[in-house]
Amino acid sequence: MNIKVNSTANYRFTIIIPAYNEADNIFILEKSLQKFLPRSILTTCVLFVDDGSKDNSLIKIQEICIRNPAFFYLHLEKNSGLSAALKAGIDYTFSEYVGYMDADLQTNPDDFNLLLHDISDYEMVTGIRANRKDSFFKKLQSIIANGFRRMMTHDGISDTGCPLKIIHTDFAKRIPFFNGMHRFLAALILLQNGKVKQIPVRHYPRMAGTSKYNLWNRLYGPFIDCFAYRWMKKRYINYYVSAFNVD
Q: Taking residues 216-238, report their average pLDDT.
A: 68
- How far apart CA 225 and CA 86 sit, in angstroms, is 17
pLDDT at residue number 118? 97
Sheet of strand 165-168, all strands in order from the earlier edge strand to the far edge: 71-75, 44-50, 13-19, 97-100, 165-168, 124-129, 196-201
pLDDT at residue number 97? 99
pTM: 0.83
* Domain ranges, ordered by start, for the chain: 7-235
Mean pLDDT of the chain: 86
Check: CATH 3.90.550.10 for 7-235? Answer: yes
Tell me the pLDDT tens digit for each residue of 203-222.
876 666 565 555 555 556 66
Judged on CB neighbours under 10 Å (0-12, 13-18, 19+), 11 is buried
Q: Taking residues 130-156, report their average pLDDT.
A: 64
